[in-house]
A and B are shown apart, each in its own frame.
Chain A
């Protein structure tokens, strides 16, 4: 198979684009997709600084790389969760990768904020991943807001987005459908959330990482119950296999035709009005935000244990 652009030997076949690309034209294609996403969805304005949420997985590192190559001012934040045998090596390898690639990385330790995830796991009754996700989102947003970043970028790709959309459609969840998309505008102390890789598949991101030498695999978190939406992703992959291009069509048509109908949908009784959390000042639907409440629970749980 030959490269669609230059006629050299192709390295990557993309049925959804009816194309094959050699390594250098593939990189061009990849950058172009990100550029299009950024432009069409007003993700990054002139001279705006972007914070990338760096999990340590390859997608977030690819995102930092490509945004930097496109000339954007980008810094990364990695949230260290304090999980033994997992958080240290992930943070260390992420730091080494960024140092070697001239990328600026900040590391925030949740333990320093009274929220080491193992303590959280002991203190709360809910599944730890739900709470951990909330904590990470809180600190990513807060760090971005407090340090003058206009936008927070995450490494979600087309497969993540279509699987989530499919899940939201199965439940016809109006509040989620009204806000799902590549850009969520900032408001008050919420910075703009952007997903610059949303036009690229997991395969394309993996190929980009391979070709750019981003050979970085996140060790699975010991608390992980497996990747989310695996079943939905498989269904959609089967559909895509039978008619290439379906995934993009489903998502883009939703943005153009579906989402407007759900704009402004209520989250439910008492959930729509946001107040400033009495403790941290960040938006909350109650007097104290979810993260500050968890911090109190962790402290109370520790105090109880020490009293015994």
Chain B
């Protein structure tokens, strides 16, 4: 699963902050973040799989907040057209929870020995890759047991994102549902909430 160094369509950005359980990537394109719950993959010695759980756009200088510019413009697009420099003064970041990695050509459903390094490229996973990685419903464990905010929402978003890529969506969701019941013992309410949102 070597990484190509050429620029390709799936490349979203690179790691700018990293830790054992997750990383932050900066997008090459302003507003170029993958959807909430999407499966991404970083480079590095242990290519890590992550689920997107937090997307933010702000000024490059965090101490200075952008000022409003659109009072005289007709549309929102016009604001950017009239201020081409904005694309360079603003940045879009996204955070991912690491849910597994690949090592020796194999998928591992636990955390990698070291997280992706700073500047590791971050790619969108192909449908084929999503299907392979999610074939084992245990892939949700690191996400479901993490302490991110809006956990249920993110898990549900992840299922909305991955389920349509499966050969048998229903079977996939039932399998995942059973796993979730195991992750949240004595809290079937939570499982129910997620499943109902996942199936929307």
Q: Do A and B associate with each other?
A: no
B interface list, Cβ under 8 A from A: none
A interface list, Cβ under 8 A from B: none
